[in-house]
C-alpha cells in the first residue's frame, strides 16, 4: 500500500489530523473517504488496504486521537462534524467524494450530505445509531443520555459497561433501561475506581449530542448524493442495526446487507476482527 501522507487542518474550535493514501494503480478517480466517530483513522487501516486503486482519505474527528480541541470548544454535534468534513474535502479540492461511514460517523455523514450535498457522490452509511427514528425512540434516547449521566457521576468504568450492554442489547429499549442495567465494570475488564477524568469523547460528548439528531429525509432524498444505508448480517436487532433499518425506511429504501456485524470492516484494529475481506468486496460492489 502506498505511503500515507499526514497533514493537519485548522477548523473552528479544533485542529484536525488527516491521512491521504494516493492510489497505487489506475481505478476510480473519485477519492474514497472512510470515517467513524468516535473511532479515528486507525480503525480503517485494513479497509484502506483493499482500495489501493483509489485515493483513500481518513481522519481523526475533533478531540479523537491526533485531532485536538481548543480550550473551551463547544461539545461537537453531528452538524459540527459535518462542517469539519466539508472543510476537509474543500481543503483537499477533492469533491465530490465517495464515503463509507460507520456508527457515529454514519450519523455525521448523513448530516454532512444534508448540509453540503455537492460534497458527496455516494454515501454508504453503515449502522447509524439514531434513536429518534425508532419506535422506542424516547426510551432509547433517554438511555443514551442516561449513560452520559452515569459517566459524569461515576466515571468511565460504570458508563462504558452500560454502553457495552446497550449496544449489544437485542430489540427495543425498555423504559428505565439505565436504572435497570448497571453491570459490573470488572466483567468487561474495565476499571471499577473513578479516576476523576471526564475527557472521554464517546461517553462525555457523543452520548450527549448524537441522540438528538434526526435525519432530514427531504434533504437526503433531494440531494444529488446516492445514499445507501447499510447493516450487518450478524447485527440482529441491535440498536445501531435497527437505526439502519429505520433510516432506510425513512428514505423509502431497503438497507444494504454487509458481512459480519457492527465492526465487520475491522481487521484487528482495537483488538477486534470482523470479516474485512468480504466486507471490502461488498463495499466495492455497492460503490
Which pLDDT tens digit goes with each residue over 133-164? Answer: 999 999 999 999 999 999 999 999 999 999 99
Residues of the chain with pLDDT > 70, as a percent, come to: 99
Which pLDDT tens digit goes with each residue over 56-87? Answer: 999 999 999 999 999 999 999 999 999 999 99
Q: Which domains does the chain have, with CATH numbers?
A: 5-130+213-286 (3.40.50.1820), 137-208 (no CATH)
Contact at 8 Å (CB) between 166 and 144?
Answer: yes
pLDDT band at residue 27, thresholds of 50, 70 and 90?
Answer: confident
| pLDDT at position 191 | 95
Contact at 8 Å (CB) between 181 and 162?
Answer: yes
The structure's pTM equals 0.96
Looking at the predicted structure, is the pLDDT value of residue 1 above 60? no
Which pLDDT tens digit goes with each residue over 167-191? Answer: 999 999 999 999 999 999 999 999 9
CA distances from 18 to 66, 68, 255 (A): 9, 12, 29
Looking at the predicted structure, is the pLDDT value of residue 275 above 80? yes
Q: Find, among 5, 232, 212, the residue nearest to 126 by Cα.
A: 232
Inter-helix orientation angle 156-167/239-250, to 10°: 50
Amino acid at each position: 500500500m502506498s505511503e500515507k501522507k499526514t497533514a493537519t487542518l485548522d477548523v473552528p474550535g479544533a485542529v484536525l489530523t488527516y491521512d491521504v493514501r494516493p492510489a497505487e494503480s489506475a481505478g476510480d478517480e473519485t477519492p474514497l473517504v472512510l470515517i467513524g466517530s468516535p473511532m479515528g483513522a486507525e480503525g480503517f487501516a485494513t479497509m484502506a488496504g483493499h482500495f489501493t486503486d483509489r485515493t483513500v482519505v481518513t481522519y481523526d474527528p475533533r478531540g479523537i486521537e491526533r485531532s485536538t480541541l481548543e480550550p473551551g470548544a463547544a461539545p461537537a454535534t453531528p452538524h459540527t462534524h459535518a462542517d469539519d468534513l466539508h472543510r476537509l474535502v474543500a481543503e483537499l479540492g477533492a469533491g465530490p467524494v465517495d464515503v463509507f461511514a460507520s456508527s457515529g460517523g454514519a450519523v455525521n455523514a448523513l448530516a454532512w450530505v444534508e448540509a453540503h450535498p455537492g460534497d458527496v457522490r455516494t454515501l454508504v452509511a453503515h449502522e447509524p445509531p439514531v434513536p429518534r427514528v425508532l419506535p422506542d425512540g424516547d426510551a432509547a434516547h433517554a438511555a443514551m443520555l442516561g449513560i452520559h449521566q452515569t459517566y459524569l457521576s461515576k466515571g468511565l468504568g460504570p458508563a462504558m459497561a452500560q454502553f457495552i450492554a446497550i449496544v449489544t442489547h437485542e430489540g427495543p429499549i425498555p423504559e428505565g433501561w439505565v436504572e435497570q442495567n448497571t453491570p459490573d465494570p470488572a466483567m468487561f475488564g474495565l476499571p471499577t475506581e473513578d479516576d476523576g477524568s471526564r475527557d472521554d469523547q464517546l461517553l462525555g460528548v457523543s452520548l450527549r449530542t448524537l441522540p438528538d439528531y434526526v435525519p432530514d429525509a427531504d434533504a437526503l432524498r433531494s440531494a444529488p448524493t446516492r445514499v445507501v444505508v447499510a447493516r450487518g448480517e450478524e447485527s440482529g436487532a441491535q440498536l445501531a442495526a435497527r437505526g439502519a433499518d429505520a433510516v432506510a425506511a425513512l428514505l423509502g429504501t431497503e438497507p444494504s446487507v454487509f458481512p459480519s456485524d457492527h465492526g465487520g470492516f475491522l481487521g484487528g484494529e482495537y483488538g477486534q476482527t470482523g470479516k474485512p475481506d468480504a466486507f471490502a468486496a461488498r463495499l466495492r460492489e455497492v460503490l
